[in-house]
Amino acid sequence: MTDPTLDRTELTARLSEQWDAIAALVTDLDETQWRTPTSLPGWSVFDVVAHVVGTESWLLGERPPPHDPTTVKTDVRTLPHIRNETGVLNEIWVDRLRPLSGSRLLAEFREVADRRRKALAAMGEQEWQAQTQSPIGQVSYGRFMRVRLFDCWMHELDIADALGVRVDEGGRRGEPAFTEFLGSVPRVVVKKGGAPEGSRITFTLTGSLARTLHIQVAGRAGYVDAFDEPATVEIALPSEVFVRLGGGRTSADEHLDAITVTGDTELGQRLVHNLAFTI
């Protein structure tokens, strides 16, 4: 069965809307607001947008701009939050764009988004299905673009949180982005949360992306429609908190009043404290 969240026409439309949503968030910012710190280590609102500019430019085959000789050159490999070569490339783009004003960066963002829209519109189904390297390994180009939607959606939330504004986290953009997010959760509950063989874990999410998730560990962890026996642990929390925990943007200790654990409470606490997988 074809995954509807990977449909070329639908997904490219959602990506376009996502870029518009980011632009709308930062359109009226002054220079001080542009430099507001976010929950991402070392990155301001400006840096988050610069990161998106860099990634979309890279997808168009471009290289980072040259270093501005009037600024101190940073050895990005020495930064404590850099963990791999993808992080190095991301940080180089951000560092090279930092000398720009916020308004100039926004113009760059809109320009590269328009060029990416044209590139995606010109792409045929064969190219969309072709295997390509991505942050999650070798996948179809279409799957890579769902990863891009997820990344940009998360960064919209980063910007909104930093600026203290609320955005709609669900809907036509949030649902496919959240689908991409959910794909990693079963693996994380085992590898990071230490869920043992035979565990039956239920997450009950409220809020913008409300749903019930049943994860069973049987050889490997995966989603199931229902359990044959009672859940080992049930964890109830808002989807907004769930996303930020998985994104490494916050800690469970900051949201204990919003998280309810029943059943194996030791396992449940271990899981909610070890959900981060994207930062």
Within-domain flag for 278: no
Tally of domains in the chain: 2
pLDDT in tens, 146-195: 999 999 999 999 999 999 999 999 999 999 999 999 999 999 999 999 99
Least confident among 12-16, 79-83, 208-212: 79-83
Within-domain flag for 178: no
Q: Are residues 138 and 40 in the same domain?
A: yes
Largest CA-CA distance found in the chain, in angstroms, rounded: 66
Strand order in the sheet with 220-223: 220-223, 211-218, 200-206, 233-238, 260-263
What is the per-residue pLDDT for 102? 98
Q: Are residues 115 and 229 in the same domain?
A: no
Q: Are residues 262 and 199 in the same domain?
A: yes
Read off the CATH number of the domain in which 128 is found. 1.20.120.450
Residue 74 banded pLDDT, cuts 50, 70, 90 = confident
pLDDT in tens, 233-264: 999 999 999 999 999 999 999 999 999 999 99
Read off the CATH number of the domain in which 228 is found. 3.30.1050.10
The more confidently predicted of residues 1 and 249 is 249
Residue 2 banded pLDDT, cuts 50, 70, 90 = low
Q: Are residues 255 and 212 in the same domain?
A: yes
Within-domain flag for 118: yes
The more confidently predicted of residues 112 and 65 is 112
Alpha-carbon distance 93 to 53, whole Å? 8
Residue 279 banded pLDDT, cuts 50, 70, 90 = low
Bridge-partner residues for 233, per DSSP?
A: 201, 263
Q: Are residues 15 and 95 in the same domain?
A: yes
Q: Are residues 123 and 198 in the same domain?
A: no
What is the per-residue pLDDT for 86? 77
Pairing relation of β-strands 233-238 and 200-206?
parallel
Q: Rounded mean pLDDT of 104-118?
A: 98
What is the per-residue pLDDT for 211? 98
Residue 270 has pLDDT above 90, yes or no: yes
Domain span holding position 18: 8-164
Within-domain flag for 259: yes
- % of the chain with per-residue pLDDT over 90: 87
Q: Are residues 154 and 194 in the same domain?
A: no
User: What is the chain's mean pLDDT, rounded?
Assistant: 95
What is the per-residue pLDDT for 103? 97
Within-domain flag for 174: no
| Model pTM score | 0.94
Domain boundary (134, 164, 194) is at 164
Least confident among 83-87, 157-161, 228-232, 234-238: 83-87
Please provide residue 33's backbone torsions phi and psi, each rounded to the nearest 5 degrees. Answer: -65, -35
Q: Are residues 201 and 75 in the same domain?
A: no
Region of 103 (left: φ > 0; alpha: ψ -120 to 50; beta: rest) is alpha
What is the per-residue pLDDT for 36? 98
Residue 83 has pLDDT above 80, yes or no: no
Q: Are residues 196 and 229 in the same domain?
A: yes
Q: Are residues 93 and 44 in the same domain?
A: yes
Alpha-carbon distance 71 to 99, whole Å? 8
Region of 198 (left: φ > 0; alpha: ψ -120 to 50; beta: rest) is left
Within-domain flag for 151: yes
Residue 88 has pLDDT above 90, yes or no: no
Q: Are residues 147 and 193 in the same domain?
A: no
Within-domain flag for 210: yes
Q: Are residues 94 and 136 in the same domain?
A: yes
Within-domain flag for 32: yes
